Amino acid sequence: MKAIQFDLSIPKYALSKAMGKMNSSLYVESPFSCLQLRDVEKPALPNDHWVEIKVKYGGICGSDLNLIFLNDSPATSPFVSFPFTLGHEMVGTISKARKSVTNLQVGQRVVIDPLLSCEVRGITPVCPECANGNYNLCHHMNDGNIAPGLLTGTCKDTGGSWGRYLVAHQSQVISLPSSVDDDNGVLVEPFACALHAVLQNRPKPSDTVFVIGSGVIGICVIAAIRALEIPCKIVTLAKHPFQAELAKQFGADEIVFLSRKRDYVTAVAESFNANVLHPVFGEPIVHGGADIVYECVGNRKSLHDSLRFARKGGKVVLIGLASFIDNLDMTMIWLNELEVKGSFTYGMEDWQGGKKRTLQIAVDLIADGKVDLSPLITHRFPLEAYREALATAANKKKGQTMKVVFEP
């Protein structure tokens, strides 16, 4: 079968890094690229508790682009095994299931929870974090009966959604009701990332929240807040008009455009009834601000903004994928006693008096008509057009791009 794989070696990494700095397309198009479209064998079922899934759609995520453009921190490398087929966002149908698999059948439409934690890896007893439902913080993502990998799409044994087939442990598989179409299905995973951030850092009805970034995750944060019927005020920072339109459609109250030509700092501050103060030199700061800031970009500018636009005693939730950030001024964390919280993927949430998997809550909210994410899909490509697909995903303004999906 055809699959888009990432295979890292030190010489290849060094050449790609040097050439990519001159022309970013060379991260994908160079013969020295770590990324290749290959003919590979279908991934094998590791044991009788796994199923094979035929992929209908596989999404391109910001973390995938971060990897391909070699921006990832080497700190994550112990939790990856090469070569791996990329893709952790998916919707598909079960194509093979062993007799030990219960409650799942061939032909069933499904999505997966891609985290490869203790239960998936056959580790017993499970680690303390998995026992508490925080399996996104599993201690053993490089142990057990499969190769290292945080997620499906980073493990050489599981395959990924940028291929025709992948395999998943039965505990990872979530059935889709008929009321959730395939377009919404492939967006369950990114929506769950946003939903986890909101459920773990839930705004009060009286709060003003600031969403930095109006890409897929930023829009999904807005959608999650409104699907949970939280009537807080949402202010959103958008870079492009098409993003602003979607932010408004999904429930943002105010949109401020990020622009070098206009003073967006004052515009944001006015939304919070805050004051802009000017230091002796350097960028302006904001006195007052949002109760909660959801940072959904992960670069130096967005992180700096997340700290200066939070009120005294406020909270900053980091969802955007950050790596090395040079010259980040953290004065406001100290001066305003900010609470800064990371948010990684999803897990088990407190939900209606019990515990429930974030991805299942996401499916249920879509099935109940609380949210329709399908407008976020703007482009579809076959695997063979992966260079064009990645260029489209990386250049949002040119293609008015939100979510790009592969149709393997």
Amino acid at 183: D
The pLDDT tens digits for 148-204 are 999 999 999 999 999 999 999 999 999 999 999 999 999 999 999 999 999 999 999
Residue pair 207/385 in contact by the 8 Å Cβ criterion: no
Q: What angle do CA 91, 160, 372 make, to 5 degrees?
A: 25
Query: What is the pLDDT averaged over residues 223-247?
Result: 98
pLDDT of residue 268: 95
Q: What strand order describes the sheet that includes 2-6?
A: 35-39, 2-6, 84-85
Confidence of residue 25 (pLDDT cuts 50, 70, 90): confident
Tokens of 334: 């100290």
Residue pair 217/194 in contact by the 8 Å Cβ criterion: yes
Phi, psi of 206 (to 5 degrees): -85, -5
pLDDT of residue 335: 96
pLDDT of residue 141: 96
Quick one: what percent of the chain has pLDDT higher than 70?
100
Q: How far apart are CA 203 and CA 187, in angstroms?
A: 23
Distance, CA of 337 to chain centre: 28
The pLDDT tens digits for 287-310 are 999 999 999 999 999 999 999 999
pLDDT of residue 71: 87
Q: How far apart are CA 188 and CA 86, in angstroms?
A: 17
Quick one: what percent of the chain has pLDDT higher than 90?
87
Q: Which residue, among 238, 246, 202, has the nearest Cα to 220 in the 3D structure?
A: 246
Measured from the Cβ of residue 26, the count of other Cβ atoms closer than 10 Å reads 18
Q: What angle do CA 198, 204, 210 make, to 5 degrees?
A: 60
Q: Which residue, among 189, 202, 261, 191, has the nearest Cα to 229 in the 3D structure?
A: 202
Lowest mean pLDDT segment, chosen from 23-32, 209-218, 364-373: 23-32
Distance, CA of 12 to chain centre: 27
Lowest mean pLDDT segment, chosen from 14-23, 210-219, 370-379: 14-23
pLDDT at 38 over 70: yes
- DSSP for 5-28 reads EE---HHHHHHHHHHHHH-TTHHH
Give strand pairing partners of 316: 293, 340
pLDDT of residue 260: 67
Please compute, for residue 285, the number of CA atoms within 13 A of its CA located in the half-sphere on the CB side. Answer: 18
Q: How far apart are CA 295 and CA 286, in angstroms?
A: 17
Q: How far apart are CA 286 and CA 336, in angstroms?
A: 11
Q: What is the 3-state secondary structure (H, E, C) of 335-366?
A: HCCCEEEECCCCCEEEECCEEEEHHHHHHHHH
Give the length of the chain.
Answer: 408
pLDDT of residue 398: 93
**Cα-based torsion angle of the residue sequence 136, 137, 138, 143 in order, rounded to the nearest 10 degrees:** 90
Confidence of residue 261 (pLDDT cuts 50, 70, 90): low
Contacts of 11 (CB under 8 A, 6+ apart): none
Q: How far apart are CA 168 and CA 175, in angstroms?
A: 13
**Cα-based torsion angle of the residue sequence 350, 354, 355, 357 in order, rounded to the nearest 10 degrees:** -90
pLDDT of residue 129: 98
pLDDT of residue 73: 79
The pLDDT tens digits for 77-123 are 899 999 999 999 999 999 999 889 989 999 999 999 999 999 999 99
Mapped onto helix, strand or coil, the DSSP state of residue 194 is helix
Place of tokens 């829009």: 219
Query: What is the pLDDT averaged over residues 64-69?
Result: 94
- What's the longest Cα–Cα distance across the chain? 71
The pLDDT tens digits for 272-291 are 999 999 999 988 999 999 99
**Cα-based torsion angle of the residue sequence 83, 87, 90, 95 in order, rounded to the nearest 10 degrees:** -10
Q: Which residue, among 274, 360, 263, 266, has the nearest Cα to 314 in the 3D structure?
A: 274
